[in-house]
Each structure stands twice: as structure tokens, then as C-alpha cells.
Chain A
Amino acid sequence: MPMRPFPKLRPTAWDALVVLAVIVLAAGTAFFQWRGGSSGELTAVVSIDGAEVDRFAPADLLEGPRTYHANGYTLTVAMAMDYETPSPGILPPKGEAGICVSSSDCPTQDCVRTGILSRGGQSAVCLPGRFVLRLEGGAAEDGGVDAVLG
């Protein structure tokens, strides 16, 4: 056997330093990764032409509606209570955030007719503007579905 320094076999104070460093690293990455609460918090994502252009918490709309320009059309995204719903029966479930495309100058108006989005996975789409407003995250509910046919 070659002569090499024999390792220390019992934990030392220096070991505690290594452990501490790893803990700090774990806490640091945890802070950056989980700060947004990407798995739990409901997040609105806006994309135009397939590229994400905006990402915000539904509550941010309390400060006012947001306007987007997509392929020549102008769309406004607002908190659900900010506008008269086309079908008055549609209101966000109690305690949940509801957002919608409140106005658009596109010819189809499908995005406005979609009404209120309140759960992760729901989206409002404007085909002429190639604009997608989508909710991500949020707690999964028992009655929740992965996809909708129709």
C-alpha cells in the first residue's frame, strides 16, 4: 500500500462547517425556487405567437386591467368583477380569483365569450390574434379534469 495520509475517522468541528454550507445552499436554492410557489399559487400566463409575454398573479389585476397588442388586435385582461359578463350566470366561485379577457377588437370575440377563468388549466384563446391567456397551478380539486372535450 502506498503511503497516504490516513483519514480522520471521527467527525470534527470542520465537518459541521461542511454540513452547514450544504444547509445554507439548500435553503438558498429553496428560497429562489419555491419563492413563487409555482405548484400552489394560481398564475396567469399570457402568450402571443406561442411566446410567453407576461406572467402575473390574478390578484395583480386589482391594480388595474392589462392591455396586450397581438397581431394587430388589442386585448384587455381584467379582474372578473371589472366587467359585465356576457352571461350573467357566470361568476367566479367564492374565494377564487377570476380573470377574463374583458374586451378585444378581434372579429370572433371567442376570447371574451369564454368568460371567467378561475382554475389552473383553464384558458381563453384569441385565434386571430394568436393570443392565449392561461391559468396555471392552483390546487387540484376532486371534480377537476385534465382536459375538456368541446
Chain B
Amino acid sequence: MKLTTKQLTLCALLTAMALALSYLENLFPLSLAVPLPGVKLGLANIVTVFALYALGPGQALLILLARCFLGSLFAGNMNALIFSLFGGLSALGTMVLLSRRRGLSLYGVSAGGAAAHNCGQIAAAALTLGSAAPLYYLPVLLAVSLLTGGLTGLACACLFQGLRRTGLMKG
């Protein structure tokens, strides 16, 4: 994929932002409120949703991969790489498919993405543990993903609303 300097800069910026968001997320553990393993707001998904719509699937994938690799590098935990890759890729894949459906709004797309993200992470957990035990949490995680996906959708909607007013984005 050939990127212009502008595109490259924007991708790098968004990657940095996604990393910052994942980092922020870890500072305030939501698991205190919802005592379940793997419960996450998935703030970094805001960047993925934004990139998907503003820059397209290709660059969204680039940002996602960079975020996963750098994130697990910073965490010093390569085990986390499998988890974030499984989760991130299934979320992106699902959202690419859903975003082609013209009738769907940001809310539907990001809710679907959040659900897929959880499915991917559970699959990664089941694979690395070699046991089906993590599947036990899937129903609750899926329910929670509707909420977190909705929040992501809201955040993106606000973002695009603002962008439309600035006129930076024509469309």
C-alpha cells in the first residue's frame, strides 16, 4: 500500500492516540465495577472505527496492527499480543463487513465490532489455555459489549459531528 506523507502522518498520529487510549484504560480498571475477566471499555476501538470511516479498511488495519504490536511491546507481555490481535482483527473484520451495509449507523457498526472483539479475545483465551473454560464468560461479555460498543459509537458520532462542522472532511 502506497501512502502519502499526509496519510502516513495521520496513521502514526492515530496509532499514538490508540496507544494512549489503551494506556488510559488500564489506569482506571472497570473490573472494579464489573468483576469479570476481560471486561474492557475498548477505548482504542474509537480509533479503529474512526480510521475505518475516515481512511478506509487498509489504513485502519495498519493502525490496528501497529497498535497491537507496540502495545504488547510496551506492556512487555507477548502473551497480550495474541489477545489483542485476536480481538482487534475480529472486531475490524466484522466492522468492515458491517460498514458496507449502508443502513447501519456508527452505533450498530461499533456494537457489532465490540461483540466480535470479545468473541476474539475469548477464542484467544480458550486457545492459549487449551480449555473451554473461558467460554463461560462469553454471554456476559457479549451483553457488556452492547454497552461498550454503544459508547464507542457515541464517541465516534460526536467526533464526526464535530468534523462535519469544521469542514475538514468533505462528504
Binding site for B on A (CB under 8 A): 1-19, 21-23, 25-27, 29-30, 33-34, 38
Contacts and interface: CB of A to CB of B under 8 A. Distances in A.
Given A4-B54, A26-B143, A18 B98 contact: yes
Contacts of A7: 53, 99, 105-106, 109, 156, 160
Q: Which 10 A-B pairs have the closest CB atoms?
A: A15-B108, A30-B139, A14-B103, A26-B142, A8-B105, A6-B171, A18-B108, A9-B157, A22-B115, A26-B139
Q: What does DSSP make chain B's interface, helix, strand, loop or mixed? A: helix
B138 A11 contact: no
A50 to B, nearest CB: 16
A30 B146 CA distance: 16
B63 interface: no
Q: What does DSSP make chain A's interface, helix, strand, loop or mixed? A: helix
User: Interface size for chain B: under 10, 10 to 19, 20 to 34, or 35 or more residues?
Assistant: 35 or more
A25 B142 contact: yes
A105 B99 CA distance: 67
Contact of A15 (B53, B105, B164, B169): B105
7 contacts: A1-B171, A2-B55, A12-B103, A14-B101, A16-B108, A22-B145, A22-B146
Contacts of A13: 103
Contacts of A12: 103-105, 108
B5 interface: no
A4 B53 contact: yes
B161 interface: yes
A14 B138 contact: no
Interface string B98-129: 11011111111101100100000000000000
B135 interface: yes
A148 B103 CA distance: 62
